[in-house]
Amino acid sequence: MNYIGTDIVEWNILRGHVALKKGKNVKREKILVVDDDAPTRKLISLTLAATSTNDDILEASSAAEALKILDQHRVDGILTDYSMPVMNGVELVRLLRKDQRWRQVPITLVSCCFTKESLVEAKTLGITCCLAKPFRRQQLQNVVRGMIAKNKQKKEIICQSVL
């Protein structure tokens, strides 16, 4: 598990229109962003969309909404806020890790207030990375690239073991 520390947020990166290139032969990765705070969720989604032409970004405003989305979509990575009402990010991860479909999906936990205990718990649950708020755009991009690379590596290992 990686821990990425706090830095100054680059909030001004989202000016202008975000356009995504879509190609027939391009494998598009799906990333689910889960955060109850709409501005933060949108900031993360737009940052990812603005810096990648190969990612589809799905959004959920709660853990319950995330579960509904996951029933309908296969995702390659999940970024979830730690502190959400009703069901927090750790509780969501616990549920996902019990389901065979989501057991191996890379998950990043995002929070402004990690403690030593929460980092130990995250590692125990198999969370791929913990990203501390505020964060820089480059940190977010690196986390998502790492999640996608980890997911691809697992798929290659599974495919090789089947052959």
Q: Exposure of 72 by Cβ count < 10 A (0-12 exposed, 13-18 middle, 19+ buried)?
A: exposed
Overall CATH class of domain 2-9+26-162:
alpha beta
Going from N- to C-terminal start, the domains of the chain cover 2-9+26-162
Is residue 18 pLDDT above 60, yes or no? Answer: no
Instruction: Please tell me the number of Cα atoms within 13 Å of 98 on its side-chain side.
Output: 7
How confident is the model over 42-55, as pLDDT tens digits?
A: 999 988 888 765 57
Q: What is the DSSP letter of 25?
A: T
How confident is the model over 102-138, as pLDDT tens digits?
A: 988 999 999 888 888 888 888 888 898 889 888 888 8
How confident is the model over 129-161, as pLDDT tens digits?
A: 889 888 888 888 888 888 878 766 654 433 233
| Prediction pTM value | 0.76
Pick from 97, 86, 85, 126: nearest CA to 109: 126
